Amino acid sequence: MKRINNIFYSLQGEGRNTGRAAVFIRFAGCNLRCSFCDTEFETYREMSSEEIMAEVEALLPHTSCLKPLVVLTGGEPTLQVDETFVDFLHEHGYEVAMESNGTRPAPKNLDWLTVSPKQKPVHQRCSEVKVVFTDADHVSDFGLEADYYYLQPCDTGDAQRNKVITQTCVEYIKQHPQWRLSLQTHKLIDIE
């Protein structure tokens, strides 16, 4: 049984896969308590893999034969997701991505791994690194090797502060072009 906070169908709002249709499976619980976290993940339903799949399939348009991306997120999905669950999703025809804080090993059979490190991660390699940017003094990829490196301006809930953070982030990227800007487009266009 998995502790599931929410399952929903939307567009990926961040990183390399921005704009892709995706089913998000949000797992409850996290081993970190980040002050800027915008996810309420303490409430959950206990669900079997089959119950999760039934809910995923019910969300999808029946007119499409293409299976979208499934994004495993949280909380921290590595607390509950293993290679067996990823295989289960693959068997149903899904491409599987995970968004992790990097503090625990991720299943090796993922199609895409995004690590948003807050401390030294256990991973050596991932598909993309996404660092939440608050200021230039706190930018670190913690030595992770990735195909893509993103800075995402922190959403503080204060429009003026967010504007300053975003402008500072843009200037940082101009000085450090190995980084790319990732905006939370789902928030900008007001979707889940």
Residues involved in catalysis:
24, 30, 34, 37-39, 99, 186
How would you list the strands of the sheet with 145-153, edge to edge? 45-47, 2-11, 21-27, 69-73, 95-100, 112-115, 125-133, 145-153, 180-181
d(CA 54, CA 72): 16
Q: Which residues contact 63 (CB under 8 A, 6 or more apart)?
A: none
